[in-house]
Amino acid sequence: MQEISKFIKDTFARMDLQEIREFILYGTEQSHIKTEPYHIRLKQGSDPIFRRINSLYPAEDELTNATNDISQVLAAYQEVYTEIGMKAGARLVYQLLLTDNPAPFAEGGTV
């Protein structure tokens, strides 16, 4: 019984949002996990494209049009992937709530 308890503890220790994301998106574990805060990851991801756009469009009106186009496409991706994420989360909750498997603690065990 202690082996089962250790297995459950180890399983919970491996639960990490980024690892779950990696597995769902890429079918792998721990390949692209980043530990930086969101604002740093967003800045690191956006800096290269903004440097490129600024170099391609020195005129302010052209720069504005280009950044508006990028904003429009990013907003579309944001909307779609947020909805997909919400559906994925709801599907996982549905599975968790409606599973026929008894809870791991049903016999009074603890993690």
pLDDT in tens, 24-50: 777 776 666 677 888 998 999 999 999
Q: What pLDDT is stored for residue 110 in this prediction?
A: 52
Residue 59 lies in a domain: no
Residue 50 lies in a domain: no
Domain count of the chain? 1
Q: Which two tokens stand for residue 60?
A: 């302010």
Please tell me whether the overall predicted TM-score, pTM, comes out greater than 0.75 for this model: no
CB 22 within 8 A of CB 33: yes
pLDDT band at 13 (very low <50, low <70, confident <90, very high): confident
Residue 71 lies in a domain: no
Structural domain containing residue 23: 1-35
Residue 11 lies in a domain: yes
Residue 47 lies in a domain: no
Residue 3 lies in a domain: yes
3-state secondary structure of 51: helix
* C-alpha distances out from residue 16 to 20, 29, 34, 103, Å: 6, 11, 12, 20
